[in-house]
Amino acid sequence: MRTVITVVTILLLGATAIASTGQQLQEVTLANGMHIVMQPRAGTQRVDVSLFIHTEPPQDPKQNAIAAVVAHALFYGGRDWIPGYTALVVNQVGGALQTLHTANYTALTITTVPTRLGDAVNLLEEAVRHADFTDYALHRSIRDILKGRKESAQRPLSKALSELEQEFGPFPPSTTEQLNDVSRLQAQKYYQSTYLPDRCTISFAGAFEPAAAVVDVKAYLDDWQPANNSNLPMVSNPPDRGLPIEPLHLAISGQAGYAMVAFEAPSVTSPDYPAFTVMETILGVGHASRMFQDLRNKLALGYDVGVVWRTDKGMPAVATLQWNGSLPAGNRLARLDAEVTGLLSNPPTGEEIARAKAVAETNFLMEHQRLHNLAFFGGWFPCMGLGTNFDTNFPSLLASVTKDDVLRVAQHYLSHRLGLLAVPRHTGSPPNP
């Protein structure tokens, strides 16, 4: 996971690096098919809880709009809720409320203290079992979606990444009109057919007693009845698709300019995932990566380089070069694209591959030092059909990657690329790729 993704976060304590205590992961599956993953950790005063609902990728723009509205409306109405109930609960424990929805899952995450764990599970239960899509809930949902888009557009890097990511999706983000067209009946029907216990994984990490956590889950969720045959198959890779050859041009605010080259990336469920991880590490992760050594150190084309790969959101990988936007774009995009394709014409050496495997494994293990990530991974991997063993097996999968594996994924995933050049509006000259 290249970025920390939180859907609902009630922050009582700052994020703290947590050393592993060697306590064993425990799993329980309820009679209704709901999966519980527990990773107790001593030496902390917090608990992170992530709840995942596996969803089927939308088949058309209308379903995409319905799915987004439902995900963002979950905490704005319920069986016994009144408007503002969630805000009241959040204020009681402190923190902020955010919503995230991807094509493959809805994930809800709460960070709390051990004494409020039952309240946290109750809050999640209300959302996934008793959401009520009133006009108020739908209005607040749409408002949150549009507000999030506006805030993202005000951040230059996020705006540029969104432009590229939209090209890799099956269809563009829902329009305001499409969102407003979602009816209460459509939302309720989608919710009832999608938010089901046998598509649900709830993951705990932190200072808690596993037996007590199971009691809390059973108290609120054990009688949640599944529909017949509601399980979904493991998520597959998106189909290959051609991309525009001409680069995108974008005017942005701020002082920095960005050159970007996006390319297709595999799902975490793909057999290519370990080899692709090694490949993108060779390209742009760490000071020994090709992008850092060539574009930054030798050519001085920018002060920040790297690969952004938001694997947990199912996004493409994006090689990114950032420079002082008061300077002309020059040939930066062409140089960046040449660096990416250089993996095809100038295959990595054995030394590069060994370094990349070591760096990728270290980064993976370091990500598991945070409770938030432990809870997220504990729910994400089972939700995607990989089970909890993937978490412990991934380092060995990285170790088994060969040079031929890296060349194979490079040939497959780098063949379709899309460039983007984003320059500050104040430069007064059009971008030059």
Q: Please state the domain extents for the chain.
A: 26-221, 248-427
CATH of 26-221, one of 3.40.50.460, 3.30.830.10, 3.90.1150.10, 1.10.1060.10: 3.30.830.10
Global confidence as pTM: 0.86
Asked if domains 26-221 and 248-427 share a fold, the reply is yes
Give the pLDDT mean for 337-365: 94
Q: What is the pLDDT of residues 51-97, one digit of tens each?
A: 999 998 888 889 999 999 999 998 887 655 555 555 555 555 444 45
Fold of 248-427: Cytochrome Bc1 Complex; Chain A, domain 1 (3.30.830)
Q: What whole-number distance in Å separates Cα of residue 79 and Cα of residue 323?
A: 52
The pLDDT of residue 3 = 38
Tokens standing for residue 91: 């204020």
* Cα torsion 276, 56, 214, 92: sign: positive
The pLDDT of residue 19 = 38
> 10 Å Cβ neighbour count for 135?
9
Residue 314 exposed, middle or buried by CB count within 10 Å (0-12, 13-18, 19+) = buried
* Crossing angle (nearest 10°) for helices 273-284 and 403-413: 80
Whether 183 has a pLDDT exceeding 80, the answer reads yes
pLDDT-derived band at 35, boundaries 50, 70, 90: very high
The pLDDT of residue 289 = 95
Tokens standing for residue 270: 């793909």
